[in-house]
Structure 1
Amino acid sequence: MMHETLRRLPPLLVLTGFRATGKTAVGRHLARLCGYEFADTDALLAERMGCSVAEAVERHGWPHFREQEQLLLAELVSRRNTVLATGGGAILHQQEWQLLRKQAVVIWLRTDLAATLARLRQDEKTAGQRPRLLSQADDDLETETVALLKEREPLYRAGSDLVIETGGRTAEEAARKLFFRLTKNGADVNSCV
Structure 2
Amino acid sequence: MPRRRKHFRQTSVINPSALGVDRTIVLVGLMGVGKTTVGRRLAKKLGMDFVDSDHEIEKAADMTISEIFEEYGEEDFRAGERRVISRLLDGTPQVIATGGGAFINQETRRMIKDKGLSIWLDADIDTLVERTGRRDTRPLLKQGDPKEILTKLANERSPLYDKADLKVMSGAGPHETVVDNILKALNDREVR
TM range (shorter): 0.7 to 0.9
The equivalent residue for 1:163 is 167
Q: Deviation of residue 132 (structure 1)?
A: 2.4
Q: Deviation of residue 5 (structure 1)?
A: 4.6
Cα deviations by residue, 1:160-187 (Å, 9 ceiling, x for unpaired): 11111111332222112212432x3345
Q: How many residues align structurally?
A: 179
The equivalent residue for 1:51 is 63
Q: Partners in 1 of 2:141 and 2:33 — Cα distance? A: 16
Cα deviations by residue, 1:79-131 (Å, 9 ceiling, x for unpaired): 3320010000001221231122122211000001111112122x22xx1x221
Q: Deviation of residue 188 (structure 1)?
A: 6.7
CA contact (8 A) 1:107 1:161 kept: yes
The equivalent residue for 2:178 is 174
Q: CA RMSD in A?
A: 2.2
Q: Partners in 1 of 2:39 and 2:190 — Cα distance? A: 17
Unaligned runs of 5+ in 1: none
The equivalent residue for 1:6 is 16
Give the structure-2-normalised TM-score.
0.83
The equivalent residue for 1:111 is 123
The equivalent residue for 1:150 is 155
CA contact (8 A) 2:15 2:47 kept: no
Q: Partners in 2 of 1:131 and 1:54 — Cα distance? A: 6
SS at match of 2:86: helix
Q: Partners in 2 of 1:168 and 1:180 — Cα distance? A: 19
Q: Partners in 1 of 2:140 and 2:56 — Cα distance? A: 20
SS at match of 1:163: strand
Deviates more, 1:106-115 or 1:5-14: 5-14
Q: Percent identity, please.
A: 28
CA contact (8 A) 1:105 1:187 kept: no
Return the match for 1:130 from 138, 148, 152.
138
Q: Partners in 1 of 2:15 and 2:72 — Cα distance? A: 45
Return the match for 1:29 from 30, 41, 47.
41
Q: Partners in 2 of 1:95 and 1:154 — Cα distance? A: 16
**2:180 counterpart letter in structure 1:** R
Q: Deviation of residue 133 (structure 1)?
A: 5.5
Give the structure-1-normalised TM-score.
0.83
Q: Deviation of residue 27 (structure 1)?
A: 0.2
Q: 1:169 to 1:162 in 2, by over 3 A?
A: farther
The equivalent residue for 1:140 is 145
Q: Partners in 1 of 2:47 and 2:87 — Cα distance? A: 22
